[in-house]
Amino acid sequence: MGADQAAAGQAGVGTGQAILAPSLRRQNRRSTGRRARSNAATPAGGLNMLEEQLYSVLSPLVAGNVFPDTAPAETPLPYILYQQVGGIPVQFMEGDGSTVSPRMQITIWSDSRLQAAQLQRAAQRLLVGAPLFGTIAGGAVALHEDVLGLRGTQQDFYFKGDP
């Protein structure tokens, strides 16, 4: 391998790897040291930066009851769930892609339609403002769960950066 090829390989050019600024490479190496919430729903690897921001922004609305994917059993109402449901990818010439604008689905569960709708509007205002600056991907959808008697809303947002 020549000097030019070695330099290109170190920078990620022609290797299928994204080129990261030095500060981003340091962040990637430190990603396992992020703060993790103390609840059973926290993923084993901790939370990524977007999840931390979602939790921080949304938790005051529901007394900290914000969870990835599903809520633990016996979680009091209301609560908020978030889940990545796609995103806008970037395709590199080498074929590898990286999601740079994750699409996150925010689901709010309550025991009343009115409270679910009020929380949805409050959450939407927070998610499109600082520090997240999310983009609304579609209008809110009303939900109901007859067996448990739950009422809810679901809405998708795009955010900047990898999840």
Phi, psi of 50, rounded to the nearest 5 degrees: -65, -45
Considering the domain boundaries, does residue 64 fall inside one?
yes
pLDDT value, residue 98 = 63
* Interval 67-112: pLDDT, tens: 999 999 999 999 999 999 998 887 777 776 666 789 999 999 999 9
Q: Which domain holds residue 78?
A: 46-158
What's the pLDDT tens digit per position in 22-38?
Answer: 333 333 333 333 333 43
In three-state secondary structure terms, 15 is: coil
Find out whether 103 and 137 touch, Cβ atoms under 8 Å: yes
* Count of structural domains within the chain: 1
DSSP string, 28-43: HHHGGGS---SSTTS-
In a domain, 57, yes or no: yes
How far, in Å, are 42, 48, 75, 76, 128 from residue 72 at the CA level? 10, 20, 6, 10, 27
